[in-house]
A = this chain, B = another copy of it.
């Protein structure tokens, strides 16, 4: 593990009970401050203050501000990736149209379950440490989706990883726009349907001839 990676690791794991509480409070506070004040005003002082914890305690658990934000982001991204992986596992062998539908609705559900948090974390993902985490999560999800695609009956994907990458990122764009909520009104309502349509069409373009004419 190189120095840069180490710098973002949490400093110590809570062994006593109150430690765990402190860490939890810090996480929650970080998200709240992020939402309320934005990344640039999401300072260690404010986070500690809102968590009802001294600034020193914050630094007992995280070596620096970025490490704390990275931890928060990681938690969020892990949740999303877990959801996607679960879906992919469940729908191995399903027809591509079902795959598309479940993938879309699962991803949306994960991202939109706490839209304010999701939105706020985009800023964190843009910071130096964030890119790495986001990339890592995308890798996990791409692998899962690619594996699912390969199991699809009547479809052949020359390069399932590529297809999965495109499909996943094609979801990310619209969702992000929606969350940043400058989206045209009504987008949310019909988003799911349209994204299912998008992915279904994309996946079916890979179907074998026999399947397509059936």
Binding site for B on A (CB under 8 A): 38-40, 122-123, 126-128, 131-132, 134-135, 138-139, 142, 159, 161-163, 165-166, 168-174, 176-177, 180, 182-184, 186-187, 190-191, 194-195, 197-198, 200-202, 204-205
| Cross-chain contact B162 with A166 (CB below 8 angstroms) | no
A159 CA to B193 CA, complexed, in Å: 13
**Contacts A170-B198, A182-B134, A202-B197 known; A127 to B165 CB distance under 8 Å?**
no
Inter-chain contact A190/B134, CB cutoff 8 Å: no
B128 and A38 within 8 A (CB): yes
User: Which chain B positions have C-beta within 8 A of A162?
Assistant: 184, 186-187, 190, 194
| Residue among A161, A184, A186 having the largest count of chain B Cβ atoms under 10 Å | A184
Complex interface: chain B residues within 8 A of A127 (CB): 40
A204 CA to B177 CA, complexed, in Å: 24
Complex Cα–Cα for A190 and B142 (A): 16
Separation in Å of the A181 CB from the closest CB of chain B?
9
Once the chains bind, are B165 and A187 in contact (CB under 8 Å)? yes
The chain B residue with its CB closest to the CB of A198 is B202
Contact at B195–A166, with CB atoms within 8 Å?
Answer: yes
Using Cβ atoms and an 8 Å threshold, which residues of chain B touch A182? 131-132, 134-135, 138
Determine if A190 and B159 form an interchain contact, defined as CB atoms under 8 angstroms apart: yes
10 extra A-B contacts, CB within 8 A, seeds A171-B173, A173-B173, A201-B205: A38-B128, A131-B180, A131-B182, A159-B190, A162-B184, A166-B191, A166-B198, A169-B173, A169-B177, A197-B202
Show 27 A/B contacts (Cβ-Cβ < 8 Å), sorted by A.
A38-B128, A39-B126, A123-B126, A126-B126, A131-B180, A131-B182, A132-B182, A134-B180, A135-B182, A139-B184, A159-B190, A161-B184, A162-B184, A166-B198, A168-B173, A169-B173, A169-B174, A169-B176, A169-B177, A170-B171, A171-B173, A172-B173, A173-B174, A197-B202, A200-B205, A201-B201, A201-B205
Residue in contact with A165 in the complex, picked from B128, B132, B183, B204, CB distance below 8 Å:
B183
Complex formed: what's the CA distance from A171 to B85 in Å? 23
